[in-house]
Amino acid sequence: MFGSATNKSQALELREEVVTPALLSEDPHSDREETSTGEKIHHRKVERAAVFSGSESRLDTHVSEGLARLRNYPEQELPRLLVDGTLLCREQGVDAYEQREPGCLKTLINGWQFIIQKLKELKPGAVPEVDLQFLLDLHRIVAGHTSNCFKGELYCPMPAANFFIPLTHYDHPDFWYCDKEGILEADELHQKHCDLAGIAKDDMASRVPFYLYIRARSLSFPACLPLEADRVLKLLECHSEPEAFYTTLHEQLSLKNDLKPLVQLFYNCMFKAYKAGNKKVFEGITDKKGQLIVFFKMFYEEARKSFSRVIHRYTVPTTVSEKLVKHTLESLNNSLSKCIDKEELFSIITSHVAELEQLHSFKSVNGRTYTLLMQYLLMAYGFPPATLEMPEMFSMFGKARMIEALKEGLRDSQLLEANAESGLKVQLHGYLYDRNDSNYGGVCREMKNMIDTETAEPKQREQ
């Protein structure tokens, strides 16, 4: 679900015109005074939120309020809970999304139905507990339209790559779906997973989370160069400067640290491939040094002309996938049971969703599964579902930025609700729905009917 960044100026302007609920504010009460210049200054009164009864009180859940917020989500905007803002903007509707994966919108609506039913099963005030079966059932539903996805089963190819960073000498839209903090935190997370999986410290092939995949004319197969996190950052920083990029790449080939054996293997494979694919060029050159000079000259010349490269983020071997998923869910449940405020809640939700996303334990439909898990947890605590512009934020970005992205998604939901009540239309994330789009309208009605049916009181259902 990749897409280019969008201009939010219109949406931001509209935000200033409406009064949105104070759901995310720390405290609506403040003292006000004026300076000698007439400037108004607000001093926020620090008061304990009503949901707390003591210094160690746990944050209460409010399922009924969360479901009410879902019911109040504007019907004409409901597809935003199925398709992220970047795609709605780029493709101006839901048709292209559905055409790529026929039936995917229906299974996503079914996924929402599943989490609503799970919310209704929660006892008042109970902390939501997510186990492996919950995830498997949710994935089975959301992946229902696929034919080879191993629905409801933990599975991914070996080795498992779950994130791809294209390196180009221009600004590729997918390039920006990570940041420095996210890459460093992903490296730390990978080492933790390796420790839990019992992977030896000297098993560098498994311990290295990033590999540069290289394709060139003389290569009949992609070559894989192991990268440390700091080297990934350097390659990203100089991606638009060819000379600096290839200098950095050459430095990686000359490493003399723990990665040297892997780098040497990469080098040997490349060298042999170039010799085999360019016999006439190497003909008559018998000394190794002369062959190396030719090899490097060809390699860098090709690299500048027809070089394709992508950084892969690898996970641990799939044999321990179930163990790591269960460990992550146990951590999630334990953290929720001790959570005392909404800031901590947002941190818990985003960090654990990102960890599950990076484990990438399903063959496909990982992002949609974990996004719905996030919506389930938000509504369990009385928040509205988040209107997300870019769900990929919750994977390879730093913790602080992920929390802010979640807050923005909640603010966007408030914006849509407030403007619907006042009759205003919002071009959020660069998209404004078209009333004449019959397919879009059909999705709105189907989603709305499901929500109304599932959240209706028992007497209303009987009628």
pLDDT, tens digit, 9 for 90 and up, residues 407-430: 999 999 999 999 888 888 888 999
Quick check: 357 pLDDT over 50? yes
Last residue of a domain, one of 262, 295, 314: 314
- Residues 297 and 343 grouped into a single domain: no
Question: Domain limits at 76?
Answer: 63-158+318-454
Inside any domain, residue 276: yes
* Confidence category of residue 253, pLDDT binned at 50, 70, 90: low
Q: What is the pLDDT of residues 198-240, one digit of tens each?
A: 999 888 888 888 888 777 666 666 677 788 888 888 877 776 6
- Residues 286 and 243 grouped into a single domain: yes
Please name the residues in contact with 287: beta carbons below 8 A apart, sequence gap of 6 or more: none
pLDDT confidence of residue 204: 82
- Residues 415 and 344 grouped into a single domain: yes
Opening angle at CA 79, ends 76 and 84, nearest 5: 135
- Of 17-21, 138-142, 152-156, 337-341, which gets the smallest average pLDDT? 17-21
Count of structural domains, the chain? 2
- Residues 305 and 173 grouped into a single domain: yes
Inside any domain, residue 325: yes
pLDDT confidence of residue 130: 97
Please name the residues in contact with 201: beta carbons below 8 A apart, sequence gap of 6 or more: 207
* Ramachandran category for residue 302: left, alpha or beta (phi over 0 → left; psi -120 to 50 → alpha): alpha
Quick check: 3 pLDDT over 60? no
Comparing CA positions, the residue from 282, 336, 365 lying closest to residue 111 is 365
Average pLDDT over residues 301-308: 64
Task: Say which residue, 332 or 304, is predicted with more confidence.
Answer: 332
Tell me the two tokens of residue 218: 């003389």
- Residues 242 and 118 grouped into a single domain: no
Quick check: 5 pLDDT over 70? no
- Residues 299 and 174 grouped into a single domain: yes
Comparing CA positions, the residue from 394, 369, 387, 401 lying closest to residue 431 is 387
- Residues 450 and 342 grouped into a single domain: yes
- Residues 96 and 131 grouped into a single domain: yes
pLDDT confidence of residue 317: 74
Inside any domain, residue 293: yes
Sign of the C-alpha dihedral, residues 118, 123, 124, 128? negative
Comparing CA positions, the residue from 145, 34, 50, 49 lying closest to residue 99 is 145
- Residues 213 and 307 grouped into a single domain: yes
Q: What's the predicted TM-score (pTM) here?
A: 0.81
Inside any domain, residue 17: no
Residue 165: which H helix or E strand, with range?
A: strand 161-166
Quick check: 173 pLDDT over 80? no
Inside any domain, residue 186: no
* Confidence category of residue 37, pLDDT binned at 50, 70, 90: very low
b/e 101-129 (16+ beta carbons within 10 angstroms → b)? eeebbebbbbbbbbbbebbeebeeeebbe
Q: What is the pLDDT of residues 56-92, one digit of tens each?
A: 588 999 999 999 999 999 999 999 999 999 899 999 9
- Residues 444 and 353 grouped into a single domain: yes
**Which CATH number fits the domain that encloses residue 110?**
1.10.3290
